[in-house]
Copies of this chain bind each other. A is one copy, B any other.
Amino acid sequence: MPKTGKLSFMSGKKYVYFFGDAKTDKNLLGGKGAGLNEMTKIGVPVPIGFTITTEACKEFFRSGSVPGLSMEVDGAIAELERRTGKRFGDAANPLLVSVRSGAVISMPGMMDTILNLGLNEDTAAGLARLSNNERFAYDCYRRFIQMFGNVVLGIKHESFERIIEKVKAKRNIKEDMMLSAEDWKEIISKYKQLIRAETGSYFPEEPRKQLSMAIDAVFDSWNNERAVTYRKLNSISAELGTAVNVQQMVFGNLGNDSATGVAFTRNPATGENRFYGEYLVNAQGEDVVAGIRTPKPISEMEKEMPNSYRQLIEIRKKLEEHYKDMQDIEFTIEHGKLFMLQTRTGKRTAQAAVKAAVDMIDEKLISEEEAIMRIDPMQLNHLMHKRIDPNAKVNVIAKGLAGSPGAACGAVVFDADEAEELGKEGKKVILVRAETSPDDIHGMAAAQGMLTARGGLTSHAAVVARGMGKCCVVGCEEIKLDEKKKTFTTSSGITVGHLDTITINGNTGEVLLGEAKLVEPELGSDFKKILEIADRFRKLGVRANADIPRDAIAAKNFGAEGIGLCRTEHMFFAEERLPIMQQMILANNEADRRKELNKLLPLQKSDFYGLLKEMQGFPVIIRLLDPPLHEFLPKREELMVEIAVMKEKKGDARKIAEKEKLLSRVEELHEFNPMLGHRGCRLGITYPEITEMQARAAFEAACELVKEKINVLPEIMIPIVGDVKELKNQKEIVKKTAEETIKKYGVKLSYKIGTMIELPRAALLADEIAEEAEFFSFGTNDLTQATFGFSRDDAGKFIRYYIEHGLMSHDPFATLDQKGVGKLVKMAVELGRGANRNLEVGICGEHGGDPESIDFCHRAGLDYVSCSPYRVPIARLAAAQAAIRNRAKN
């Protein structure tokens, strides 16, 4: 029985494991401990040491102390002394250790590292003798005191630095390198005085005392403010706890046969299968970080330290074969002997992730499933959009929400018309608005990107931008717009004027002053290959939300298997159409309405013609008019102001009367809560002629294409259905129009009629509705809105507060709320399929492009997801991951 097990036997718990002795369990050993344990097991050289488990930390917070832990640590130190032949406090052969925290998930804010623990006046002198390098020994000692003083005793780093600065000033020296052993001794003496003054106690000379204080400090740091905040922000459970790793010191700074380095087993930027890293001879890890000396590329080591290099290459191979993934490693060479200090999965760019995954399949290192699971779908965004050069200097002046990925630079404009105008002249502009509305679309189309002060991740600006594949930052509440002065001002007081250049980062939500260098997207063969593999695994179909042929082409190129949502109202905002639409709405009777609708018919028909032709062979779901009519009308408050001013000016009475008549109709159509008003099928029911016109446009377009021998699959979708009677009403109109049109053209055409499920009531009564529907498409934006009772346009403010204060883990408009909204979705799928076995079920809300939500859709048994064109590759990959992830469970 090892000595370390003695007391754990009595307490019934074991808190301490030597590297290589434990089962590799990240939750128990922490990330770092697990790596050290695993490397030891597979025979990779690691400095001897042990891990105090996360269980000890949890017990520490439960009961304030860990019974039996100190005796267990004593036993472990005794074993460490036995194995290394060195002893704590032995000047002749001192045992020095590093103490490092090792949480399950790496976390900034926690106590990181204390090196050289075990040094005191005696052992420092001993180290000087042993190393034959007094300066080295006392430098080690002062580093230890400094780290210990800072992280264990809480003394400011600057207090120590000031002491060094004074001594350097006295010596008239500029670089630490120039300080002698004697200088370090003087500094050490002053360090100790500082500690005495600040803490009221002497610096602990006893190594066991140093160790137990360091361990407690690691535990304590788990609950310091920064760590707590970080956990909250990143949804990391406070229950996890941290492990502590105690490990024999090795030194890379013992001469030219010593070195230290960091490396990736492959290139983390490109994914290329070449060893990638840097090292420094006669240096410690800190020196690499400090950047005083420039490290050499790892390839040079082959000449300089051939034995170590060969060994390192073998380890690189061993680790990759063992972990089956790119590793990020740290190593130290002490007098020619190589030690690995850390291995972990290497962080990589999207490009590298894709290339490495594809390469590793070819290398037979991993299976296709493993390759698929390895890539973060959201990272694919980086491959599809411009981004800010990672090496560019940036001046962040505000931060909003990452509304649509990519990056864009341009001159600031505050008006959609101006954006269009300048856009036509070839000028790059960023459209800055409080929020966007459908009548900004022409400006958005012309701009490089959009910045809005309000609105969440599914606000109009964000949705439209993602659809267009443009960069967009939304809900940037730090900026205040003054649209009249044409400026905006950040919370730190920086004012940006009309036509000033800014850069926006749609991946982070950052707003930068000036022009930052952008990097073009790269879509290589690896990207295509990984998606082809994904397609073989996924069960979910992937369609796109697209309203116009241009978007449909993009979607098809990204692999969309149909249009899951064509929002027909977007077609009515075009310059030449809006006036007709307005006349239609302002009409007081059906005859006048029909007159205007007849003008819209050929326009809408040509849209559908283009879309259906582009998507031939694939289904195209056309949703009937959805938004409230007043969205198409002049704004009420603007009219009010206009009239008041005209009257004040004693303007033309007839013109005033005209405006007042318009206002009166706008007032009639005004709604307190447009989202909860006269929209969707409610419009089609009260104005059946609108539904009729839209259906006619769709079927005439389809029939003409059939005549041209083009295979089209139109599906008409009825929005905002809350009761089966509504669906029936609209279905009858659509069906009648379809049959009439098909007969008129004398063709054969099959089509479907279905409905959105976007109201809780529709989900609750999905069985009844399914009897009249050929397909369901979950409109999870509206469904989320209704289920939570907050709208995506208005909830931005408090959702952010909620997330920051731990009341919500994520924005439910971005990632589906599986517990609440998901319950309704599942209920609707079950009820719907129960009533109609052939029911096709998909999702066309923004969640259709969110990986976590896609996983839910897979589990809920949906047939497909539909998302904006630029999300299609993400959805394909995420759908494959969902299939693989849930395979075991089924």
Q: A795-B677, A807-B729 are in contact. Are A686 and B789 (CB under 8 A)?
A: no
The answer to whether B672 touches A672 (Cβ under 8 A) is no
A723 to B673, CA, bound (A): 23
Q: For this complex, into which size category does the number of interface residues on chain A fall? A: 35 or more
Contact with B along A671-690 (1 / 0, CB 8 A): 11111111000100110000
Residue of B with least CB distance to A480: B664
Counting CB contacts under 8 A, is A233 at the interface?
Answer: no
The answer to whether B787 touches A760 (Cβ under 8 A) is yes
- Taking CB atoms and an 8 Å cut-off, the chain A residues in 727-785 that contact chain B are 729, 758-761, 764-765, 782, 785
Counting CB contacts under 8 A, is A230 at the interface?
Answer: no
Q: A645-B648, A682-B798, A685-B798 are in contact. Are A789 and B671 (CB under 8 A)?
A: no
A806 to B723, CA, bound (A): 12
The answer to whether A791 touches B677 (Cβ under 8 A) is yes
Residues of B within 8 A of A764 (CB): 787, 819-820, 823-824
Counting CB contacts under 8 A, is A522 at the interface?
Answer: no
A807 partner, pick from B685, B765, B794, beta carbons under 8 A: B685
Q: Which of A246-254, A349-357, A560-568, A634-642 contacts B (4 or more CB under 8 A)?
A: A634-642
Q: A645-B648, A648-B648, A673-B674 are in contact. Are A788 and B759 (CB under 8 A)?
A: yes
A820 partner, pick from B640, B722, B726, beta carbons under 8 A: B722
Counting CB contacts under 8 A, is A655 at the interface?
Answer: no
Residues of B within 8 A of A820 (CB): 722-723, 760-761, 764-765
- How many whole Å from A809's CB to the nearest CB in chain B? 10
The answer to whether B788 touches A722 (Cβ under 8 A) is yes
Residues of B within 8 A of A723 (CB): 807-808, 820
A789 to B791, CA, bound (A): 11
A790 to B729, CA, bound (A): 19
The answer to whether B801 touches A686 (Cβ under 8 A) is yes
A673 to B788, CA, bound (A): 14
Name which of A673, A720, A725, A821 has the most chain B CB atoms within 10 A of its CB.
Answer: A673
Q: A764-B823, A808-B725 are in contact. Are A672 and B787 (CB under 8 A)?
A: no
A725 to B803, CA, bound (A): 11
Residues of B within 8 A of A887 (CB): none
The answer to whether A761 touches B787 (Cβ under 8 A) is yes
The answer to whether A674 touches B676 (Cβ under 8 A) is no
Residues of B within 8 A of A805 (CB): 685
The answer to whether B807 touches A725 (Cβ under 8 A) is yes
- How many whole Å from A22's CB to the nearest CB in chain B? 37
A640 to B677, CA, bound (A): 25
- How many whole Å from A483's CB to the nearest CB in chain B? 11
Counting CB contacts under 8 A, is A415 at the interface?
Answer: no
Query: How many copies of this chain does the complex contain?
Result: 2
Residue of B with least CB distance to A676: B791
The answer to whether B676 touches A676 (Cβ under 8 A) is yes
Residues of B within 8 A of A808 (CB): 723, 725
A798 to B683, CA, bound (A): 9
The answer to whether A672 touches B782 (Cβ under 8 A) is no
A674 to B677, CA, bound (A): 13
Counting CB contacts under 8 A, is A535 at the interface?
Answer: no
- How many whole Å from A104's CB to the nearest CB in chain B? 24
Counting CB contacts under 8 A, is A202 at the interface?
Answer: no
Residues of B within 8 A of A674 (CB): 672-673, 794
Residues of B within 8 A of A797 (CB): 678, 686
Name which of A644, A785, A793 has the most chain B CB atoms within 10 A of its CB.
Answer: A644
Counting CB contacts under 8 A, is A174 at the interface?
Answer: no
The answer to whether B794 touches A789 (Cβ under 8 A) is no
Residues of B within 8 A of A807 (CB): 685, 723, 725-726, 729
Residues of B within 8 A of A366 (CB): none
Residues of B within 8 A of A725 (CB): 806-808
A793 to B671, CA, bound (A): 8
The answer to whether A789 touches B801 (Cβ under 8 A) is no
- How many whole Å from A812's CB to the nearest CB in chain B? 9
A789 partner, pick from B644, B685, B786, B798, beta carbons under 8 A: B786
A798 partner, pick from B672, B686, B765, beta carbons under 8 A: B686
Contact with B along A700-729 (1 / 0, CB 8 A): 000000000000000000001011011001
A675 to B671, CA, bound (A): 12
Residues of B within 8 A of A641 (CB): 637, 640-641, 644
The answer to whether A802 touches B685 (Cβ under 8 A) is yes
Q: A760-B824, A820-B761 are in contact. Are A676 and B789 (CB under 8 A)?
A: yes
- Taking CB atoms and an 8 Å cut-off, the chain A residues in 497-530 that contact chain B are none
Counting CB contacts under 8 A, is A62 at the interface?
Answer: no
Residues of B within 8 A of A720 (CB): 789
Counting CB contacts under 8 A, is A649 at the interface?
Answer: yes
- How many whole Å from A424's CB to the nearest CB in chain B? 31
A677 partner, pick from B729, B786, B794, beta carbons under 8 A: B794
Contact with B along A634-668 (1 / 0, CB 8 A): 00110011001100110000000000000000000
Q: A759-B787, A787-B761, A821-B761 are in contact. Are A676 and B678 (CB under 8 A)?
A: no
Residues of B within 8 A of A806 (CB): 725
A791 to B791, CA, bound (A): 13
A sample of 17 inter-chain contacts (CB < 8 A) reads A636-B637, A640-B641, A672-B673, A672-B791, A676-B676, A676-B789, A676-B794, A677-B790, A685-B798, A686-B801, A722-B790, A759-B787, A760-B787, A760-B789, A765-B820, A765-B823, A786-B789
4 extra interface residue pairs, beta carbon distance < 8 Å, beyond A686-B798, A765-B819: A645-B645, A673-B673, A760-B787, A761-B820
Query: Which 10 pairs, one residue from A and one from B, show the smallest C-beta to C-beta distance?
Result: A676-B791, A677-B794, A637-B637, A761-B820, A759-B789, A760-B760, A673-B673, A671-B794, A641-B644, A673-B791
